[in-house]
């Protein structure tokens, strides 16, 4: 997992994930790289101690990806989620790999990650799996 994180130069996440995570992140960007938040309305960047932690992008997934790629340089752009954000990037053909963290917690409800992307022609090729106490990491390549 650490090798993957070292390849990432920017991250994109949905507004709902941002809103739900911000309190537990204590206003800090947990990825340690520039984070771009998809939003329907323009917002000022969120800064902490003079460092921009989150930049809000109101011009859709393509605009967020363009800004994240420019920021990441020769590194990867990670799409952190949530599920609706990941589905949009899969449908647009922008995801090369899918990294899932499987945690054995029954929530009672949630959003299906791959619901509605069945019309996208792709194969899923396993790349690896690893586990640690409480979580299993699964990696797949999306082949179009």
Which CATH number goes with the domain that contains 85?
3.40.430.10
pTM of the model: 0.88
Integer CA distances (angstroms), 118 to 60, 78, 113, in order: 22, 22, 11
The runs of H, that is alpha helices, within 26-126 are 60-72, 83-91
**Domain count within the chain:** 1
Residues 130 and 6: their CA atoms lie apart, in Å, by: 17
What's the pLDDT score for residue 98? Answer: 92
Q: Residue 117: which domain range?
A: 2-143
| Each residue's pLDDT tens digit, 98-144 | 999 888 887 777 788 888 776 677 788 999 999 999 999 999 999 87
Distance CA 32, CA 8 (A): 9
Residues of the chain with pLDDT > 70, as a percent, come to: 94
């Amino acid at each position: 997992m650490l090798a993957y994180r070292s390849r990432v130069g920017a991250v994109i996440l949905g507004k709902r994930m941002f809103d739900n995570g911000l309190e537990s992140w204590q206003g800090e960007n947990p990825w340690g790289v520039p984070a771009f938040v998809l939003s329907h309305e323009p917002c000022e960047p969120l800064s902490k101690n003079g460092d921009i932690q989150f930049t809000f992008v109101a011009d859709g997934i393509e605009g967020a990806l363009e800004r994240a790629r420019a920021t990441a340089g020769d590194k990867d752009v990670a799409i952190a989620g949530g599920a609706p954000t990941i589905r949009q990037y899969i449908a647009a053909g922008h995801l090369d790999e899918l990294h899932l963290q499987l945690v054995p917690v029954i929530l009672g409800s949630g959003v299906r990650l791959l619901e509605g992307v069945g019309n996208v022609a792709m194969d899923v090729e396993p790349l690896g799996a690893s586990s640690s106490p409480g979580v299993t990491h699964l990696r797949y390549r999306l082949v179009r």
